Amino acid sequence: MFEEIKGILLLKRFFKAIKGDKYFHPFPFNLKTIVKILKSKEDIYRFTFFNNEIVGMWMLRGWEEGYKIPSFGMIVHPDFRSRGVGSNMLKMAIKACEKLKCKKIRLTVDKGNPAKRLYLREGFKFKGNVGIKTL
Ligand SMILES: CC(C)(COP(=O)(O)OP(=O)(O)OC[C@H]1O[C@@H](n2cnc3c(N)ncnc32)[C@H](O)[C@@H]1OP(=O)(O)O)[C@@H](O)C(=O)NCCC(=O)NCCS
């Protein structure tokens, strides 16, 4: 119970910091989403912490909806960008997929998002705004 409340408060603060991000809009930043994240069984949500606060989040989603290929997404707190957090989280997600013996990872990148460079560096191949990495 205590851990659950702590999780809700941490995510609430993180959502406040990232809400309105031009390139990250996978779900509404509300309590319903926070509860879904904390209760998720198959889909993976992971966090990077600094001083007991969430500064980054990555996710592999889609399994719970029946998709075979998970969709990757990530966001770093605006004050913590360009320090390698994002690259590190992407590497962790790829490792997690390898462990789970996934064959592919999917993601979408909005036009003009500099994050595309990061994904290209990690071997994603793009068709339009959809990137696929084959493992
Ligand atoms: C994309 C993102 C997660 C990268 O995290 P990060 O911790 O800043 O990344 P790193 O420090 O590991 O690497 C920086 C790389 O991220 C990319 N990048 C994307 N947006 C960036 C931003 N606003 N500031 C800095 N780098 C950014 C660049 O490709 C940069 O690589 P470069 O060396 O080619 O310039 C982060 O910028 C972010 O949260 N952006 C907004 C949300 C988003 O776009 N998510 C991805 C949706 S597909």
**Res. 55: pLDDT tops 80:** yes
Please state, rounded to an integer, the average pLDDT across all residues of the chain: 96
Mean pLDDT of the region 36-47:
96
Give the three-state DSSP class for 57.
strand
Cα end-to-end distance, the chain, whole Å: 38
Domain ranges of the chain: 2-134
Question: Which atom of ligand 1 lies closest to the CA of 78?
Answer: 39
CATH fold of 2-134, please? Aminopeptidase (3.40.630)
Q: What is the pLDDT of residues 78-124, one digit of tens each?
A: 999 999 999 999 999 999 999 999 999 999 999 999 999 999 999 99
DSSP 50-110: ETTEEEEEEEEE-GGGT-SSPEEEEEE-GGGTTSSHHHHHHHHHHHHHHHTT-SEEEEE--
pTM for this structure? Answer: 0.94
Q: Give the number of the atom of ligand 1 that is nearest the alpha carbon of residue 87.
A: 12
81 C-alpha vs ligand 1 centroid, how far in Å? 6
pLDDT value at residue 59: 98
